[in-house]
Chains A and B, each alone.
Chain A
Amino acid sequence: MSEYDVINTRAARVDASDKVRGRAVYVDDIKMPGMLYGALLQSPLAHGELLNIDTSAAERLPGVKSVVTYKEAGLVKYGVSPARYDETLFCHDKVRHVGDNIAAVAATDLDTALEAVSLIKVEYRELPAVFTVEEAMAEGAPALHAAYPRNITAEVHDEFGDVAAAFKKCDLIKTSSLVNKRQDAAFIEPQGCLASYDFSGNLTVYSSTQVPHYLQRIIAMVLGLPVGKVRVIKPYVGGGFGPKAGASHLELAACLLSMKTGKPVKMNFDRQQVFMHGRARHQFFHTMTTGVKKDGAIMALEHKCYLNGGAYSSFGIATVYYAGSLLGGPYKLPNMKYDGYRVFTNLPACGAQRGHGGVIARACWEQQLDMIAEELGMDPIELRLKNMMKAGDVTCNFLDMSSLGMKECVEAVRDRSGWKEKKGKLPPGKGIGMSCGFFVSGAGYPIYRSDTFHGTVIIKLTEDGGTALVYTASAEIGQGSDTTFAMIAAEAMGIPLECVRLESGDTDFGVDLGAYSSRQTLMTGLATKEAGEDIKRQVLEVLSEELHVPIEDMDIKKGFIVFRKEKPDFSALRTRYIKEHRGWTDNPGMDEELSFKEASRIAFLSRGSIVGKGKYKPPELGGTHKGAAVGTSPAYGCSAQVVELSVDEGTGKINIEKMTDAHDCGLAINRTSVEGQMNGSLSMGLGEALFEEVKFDDKGRVLNDDLAEYKITRALDMPAIEPIIIESKEPNGPFGAKEVGEGAIMPAIPAILNAVYDAIGVRIFELPMKPERVYMAIKEYRRKKEEALRSSEGKAPGGSAKK
């Protein structure tokens, strides 16, 4: 039996009733009187000098209300990290990728806006473009940004311990690599916004953003408005996964057009523009060398990585740090060296996507650990358990594992999947593989350098005492954060979930850094808990004054006052309450327990509005080296996974049959939501492992800019999943809770890679594992094996590739 009344249950989501009826409002569902429609003019060239922009024909088109270019927008630079602000609202000197933004139009309807865009005449001088890391870093390559020689956005060179010295003491040193393909987050709702500038000088922006707070600041900075004049409201959002975690040209252009016209302006990306905007997972080229002792003890990791970043920095400077720092755990690793390069190319910018920076690094290393285990003759699970950190350990790069249910996760998936009965015993073509992973529960520092609180929450009781209004600027984007915070608030106040009404996603409600880095459950959760406890304290203070019972002898549980010692006579108080509600039909009987509703009405009569406040910012975390902030977090979620699959050796097609997945989320606030995040993460990881790849032609144009050719996981592709929740009770989290949203994807790709090897005896070092790639790998493997056999024995092998 849980010690909690509201949390740690399977409560229905607070937004589900509206969503299942089609009643939930998303940004494109909003319309306003006099609303105009905006459209963007985007570059057809990957790299070109802008010689002239002629908007006169567009401006003459009937129905067009405003045409804006850099001349109207100005040249304030923005981006994600202030250290790498490298975008302007519109291009002014050159375009850097197909889809770069040149101008925007507002008109009375979308067709007119699009026609006007087609009437804008732009003269370019085409410049040579670079699309690959090699081209971009080559001597004499054209520079995308003058300030960044060799097109390097950022480079990282870190060494913790002494890798070279450690390698000398190792019994086995293994090198391998892994490359993935650029991803698209493929949220089902394309980005959209509606900006409305009023005649008092206030700008209200409805946006499908993950980060209302950062968007508010960037809009204010770029358009020269006081922050207090910009209000960002996030309605329901149809998925984010990373790319919606930054300000976009769409939002800034809509704001500018609304300011120019004095009318509300709606703008949406279509699906092609979602791909052209990009900002999802980078392409990573990892090479890793790991040294171990005979007994499997991991001694050192040397790691090099190049990231193809596209035309702007976006999150890239953080991504290149994460790609290194997140290998610090969950294994004891005394020595680690990392060299990372994030490189500009003439493609849409890459940014952050679920598991930011760490996913492909994790996949590369976890595959390598399996290779090492095999050479040592160890079971891969045994190797991992031997090296596993435990709660209280600190990584060589100063990440503090304040709780770590990693061992419990590994043991759970081992036992529940039947690992011991299956590993090494499956028939040819069938395989089993496993992997671990871990991730931050919120970035330890804000994106801009600041001592700001990462989250503030206000709870106000309604005057009748019956309802608690929770106000948070956090971002519900589908992950269930509204439900999580309503549950935390109810638990902290001691009232039923039905008595909580939560409003979120509005910058007028306070500061919240938003939905990224799996931060909200822990950070906004702690602020919510503090606000709830503040409410409870205030109500009990008034009760204490009225009833002369010490506060410490009272509590609130399930909506009623609990008197720990003798129950006082509260009949006078109740009579007052009932007198206030003459004619009401739900007044309490004289023999009932004293309710929270009565107590908080009395508190209102005594003190006026009862408002509880909560706030959270992490303590100082991490080391003092350059970039030490990236990877720090007040807590780390972790997970382990076993995948069972089959490979058709005739076609190379992989069929994932079962996933057994355990995730340590500290404490599950909502068990159904935790499992939902686990299942969703695995589905995304499966897609990345098997199909997903944004492809370009030789002019830098996206070839598969739709959801048919960019294939994501469908219902038919999903295997059965057994989700196992591990609860390690995180000391730094609200009621012990920490992340699940991103960490759960970490083991998915490497577990599949390891299972594929188990099935066919061939290692794959390039993603996605499409049938043709797997088939070619099998063929190549057989050819090499035959050659080897011919030279040794002179006879040809037959049957399966599996040893």
Chain B
Amino acid sequence: MKKLIRVTVNGVEYEVAVKPNQTLVDMIRYDLGLTGTKNGCGEGDCGACTVILDGTPVNSCLVLAMQADGRTITTIEGVEGKDGLHPLQQAFIEKGAIQCGFCTPGMVLSAKNLLDENPHPTEDEIREGISGNLCRCTGYLQIIDAVKSVSK
């Protein structure tokens, strides 16, 4: 039986009917059509589905949609501000931090969450902050550079 939940995503309130076993990533991608959130493994290993749930980054493949009832979510589509790209997004473009782009949304959200909590992280803290997000293309260094360039 589906149940109606109420969830605020990127500042917009949605009412969604979700199945008890439906994952949050599934709801975000297929019910809300916010396909910027990616599903890479479905078991919490790769971080591609990272979203910010009430201020905490989570693997949305490990969260049930029902658990998001009454809560607030930021996805990659909500990172850009009124004045355009978030500085972190701009830095990702400039530093060559993007290749295939499949890990990028989750990576940006993890990095953003890190900077929100710790605006001047050390390089080790940056590496730790994105260590749950796998990237097979870049070797991470240009991503780390991008985060560093914004945190100065």
Which A residues are within 8 Å of any B CB, using their own CB? 10, 12-13, 15-26, 28-29, 31, 185-190, 236-239, 241, 270-271, 477-480, 672-673, 675-676, 679-684, 706-708, 712-716, 718, 720-721
Q: Is the CB of B128 within 8 A of A22?
A: no
> Using an 8 Å CB-CB cutoff, how does the interface string of B89-131 with A read, 1 for contact, 0 for none?
1001111101111111100100000000000000000111011
Name B residues whose Cβ lies closer than 8 Å to a Cβ of A: 29-30, 34-46, 48, 75-77, 79-80, 85, 89, 92-96, 98-105, 108, 126-128, 130-131, 133-144
Nearest B-chain residue to A685, judged by Cβ: B139
Q: A10 CA to B139 CA in the complex, in Å? A: 18
Q: How far is the CA of A241 from the CA of B44 in the complex (A)?
A: 23
- CB of A188 within 8 A of CB of B100, answer yes
- Distance, CA A13 to CA B101, complexed state (A): 11
The answer to whether B140 and A718 touch across the interface, beta carbons within 8 angstroms, is: yes
Q: A480 touching B139 by the CB < 8 A rule?
A: no
Shortest Cβ distance from residue B87 to the other chain A in the assembled complex, whole angstroms: 12
A675 touching B96, Cβ below 8 Å? yes
Contact status A189-B127, CB under 8 Å: no
In-complex Cβ contact of A721 among B94, B130, B139 (8 A): B139
Q: Are B35 and A16 in contact (CB under 8 A)?
A: no
Q: Are A22 and B102 in contact (CB under 8 A)?
A: no
How far does the Cβ of A516 sit from chain B's closest Cβ, in whole Å? 15
B124 to chain A, nearest CB (A): 8
B104 contacts across to A, CB distance below 8 A? 19-20, 22
Q: Is A21 a contact partner of B76 (Cβ separation < 8 A)?
A: yes
23 A-B residue pairs with Cβ-Cβ distance under 8 Å, sorted by A, are A15-B101, A17-B93, A20-B101, A21-B76, A21-B79, A22-B76, A26-B38, A188-B40, A189-B38, A189-B48, A190-B40, A237-B100, A238-B38, A239-B137, A479-B99, A672-B142, A676-B96, A680-B99, A712-B134, A712-B136, A713-B139, A718-B144, A721-B139
- Check B139–A716 contact: CB distance below 8 A: no
Q: B102 and A29: CB pair below 8 A? A: no
B123 to chain A minimum Cβ distance, whole angstroms, is 9
Docked complex Cα distance between A675 and B95 (Å): 11
Q: How far is the CA of A296 from the CA of B19 in the complex (A)?
A: 70
Contact B139 A16 (CB under 8 A): no
A715 pairs with B130, CB closer than 8 A:
yes
Point out which of B76, B85, B104, B108 has the most chain A C-beta atoms below 10 A from its C-beta: B104
CA distance A19 to B138 in the complex (A): 14
B76: A residues at CB distance < 8 A: 21-22
Q: How far is the CA of A536 from the CA of B140 in the complex (A)?
A: 40
Which residues from A are CB-within-8-Å of B42?
270-271
* Bound Cα distance A716, B131 (Å): 6
Question: Which chain A residues lie closer than 8 Å to B108 at the CB level?
Answer: 20
Contacts of A241 in B (CB 8 A): 136
Please state if A25 and B35 are interface contacts (CB–CB under 8 Å).
Answer: yes
Known interface pairs A271-B41, A680-B138; A188-B103 also in contact (CB < 8 Å): yes
Task: From B43, B44, B128, B141, give the contact of A718 (CB < 8 A).
Answer: B141
Residues of B within 8 A of A19 (CB): 98, 101, 104
Q: How far is the CA of A720 from the CA of B145 in the complex (A)?
A: 11
| B residues less than 8 Å from A706 (CB atoms) | 41, 43, 45
- Give min CB distance, A612 to chain B, whole Å: 29
Task: Give min CB distance, A37 to chain B, whole Å.
Answer: 11
A716 contacts B127, C-beta separation under 8 Å: yes
- CB contacts (< 8 Å) of A25 on chain B: these are 35
Given contacts A17-B93, A238-B100, contact A188 B46 (CB under 8 A): yes
- List B contacts of A479 (CB < 8 A): 99, 137
Q: Is the interface of A mostly helix, strand, loop or mixed?
A: loop
Measured in the bound complex, the distance between the Cα atoms of B45 and A801 in whole Å is 37
CB nearest to B127 among chain A residues: A715
Chain A residues with CB under 8 Å of B36's CB are 21-23
Q: If A707-B45, A708-B45, A715-B131 touch, does A24 touch B101 (CB 8 Å cutoff)?
A: yes
Residue of A nearest to B39 (CB): A28
* B35 to A, closest residue via Cβ: A29
- Cα distance A22–B106 in the bound complex, in angstroms: 9
Shortest distance between the CB of A723 and any CB in chain B (Å)? 9
Complex CA–CA separation, A238 to B42 (angstroms): 15
CA gap between A186 and B135 in the complex, in Å: 9
Number of A-B contacts (CB under 8 A): 175
Contact among A23, A26, A676 with B102 in the assembled complex (CB-CB below 8 Å): A26
What separation, in Å, do the CA atoms of A722 and B69 have in the docked complex?
48
Question: What chain B residues lie within 8 Å of A679 (beta carbons)?
Answer: 138-142
| CB neighbours of B138 from chain A (8 A) | 676, 679-680, 683
Closest 9 CB pairs of A and B: A22-B36, A478-B100, A238-B102, A19-B101, A683-B139, A22-B76, A679-B139, A672-B96, A29-B35
Do residues A187 and B94 form an inter-chain contact, with CB atoms below 8 A?
A: no
Residue from the list B40, B105, B140 in contact with A22, Cβ < 8 A: B105
A16 touches B142 (CB 8 A): no
CB of B80 within 8 A of CB of A714, answer no
Tell me if A715 and B101 are in contact (CB < 8 A): no
The complex places the Cα of A12 from the Cα of B93 at a distance, in Å, of 6
Point out which of A13, A21, A186 has the most chain B C-beta atoms below 10 A from its C-beta.
A21
Query: Which residue of the partner chain B has the closest CB to A476?
Result: B100
Q: Residue of B at shortest CB range from A672?
A: B96
Q: Are B92 and A676 in contact (CB under 8 A)?
A: no
| Chain A residue nearest in CB terms to B90 | A20
Given contacts A20-B89, A22-B36, A188-B46, contact A707 B100 (CB under 8 A): no
Given the interface contacts A680-B139, A715-B143, does A707 sit within 8 Å of B102 by beta carbon?
no
Give, as a whole number of angstroms, the nearest-CB distance from B72 to chain A: 18
Q: Which residues of A contact B141 (CB under 8 A)?
A: 679, 718, 720-721
Q: How far is the CB of A572 from chain B (nearest CB, A)?
A: 43
Say whether A707 contacts B96, CB under 8 Å.
no
Chain A: minimal CB distance from B48 (Å) = 5
A188:B102 contact, CB within 8 angstroms: yes
- Establish whether residues A239 and B100, one from each chain, have CB atoms under 8 Å apart when the complex forms: yes
Give the residues in chain A near B139, CB-CB below 8 Å.
Answer: 676, 679-684, 713, 718, 721
Which residue of B has the minimal Cβ distance to A686?
A: B139
Q: Which residues of A contact B95 (CB under 8 A)?
A: 672
State whether A13 touches B102 (Cβ < 8 A).
no
Q: Give the CA-CA distance A598 to B29 in the complex, in Å.
A: 45
Q: Which residues of A contact B41 (CB under 8 A)?
A: 190, 271, 706-707
Verify A676–B137 contact, CB threshold 8 A.
Answer: yes
- Min CB distance, A487 to chain B, in Å? 14
Q: Kindly list chain A residues whose C-beta atoms are within 8 Å of the C-beta of B44.
A: 708
A238/B131 in contact, CB under 8 A: no
**Contact indicator B94/A22 (Cβ below 8 Å):** no
Contacts of A23 in B (CB 8 A): 36
Chain B residues near A238 (CB-CB < 8 A) = 38, 40, 100-103
Contact B96 A673 (CB under 8 A): yes
Q: Which residues of chain B have C-beta atoms less than 8 A from A672's C-beta?
A: 95-96, 142
CB distance from B75 to the nearest CB of A (A): 7
A21 to B109 Cα, complex, angstroms: 11
- With a CB–CB cut-off of 8 A, which chain B residues contact A18? 101
**Residue of B with least CB distance to A187:** B136
Distance in angstroms between the alpha carbons of A189 and B102 in the assembled complex:
7
The answer for the CA separation of A714 and B62 in the assembled complex, in Å, is 20
In Å, the complex CA distance between A200 and B48 comes to 39
Contacts of B92 in A (CB 8 A): 16, 20
> Which residues of the partner chain A approach B102 to less than 8 Å between Cβ atoms?
26, 187-189, 238-239, 478
- Central interface residue in B37, B139, B141, by most chain A CB within 10 Å: B139
CB distance from B62 to the nearest CB of A (A): 12
CA–CA, A314 to B37, complex, Å?
A: 33
Distance to closest chain A CB from B102 (angstroms): 3
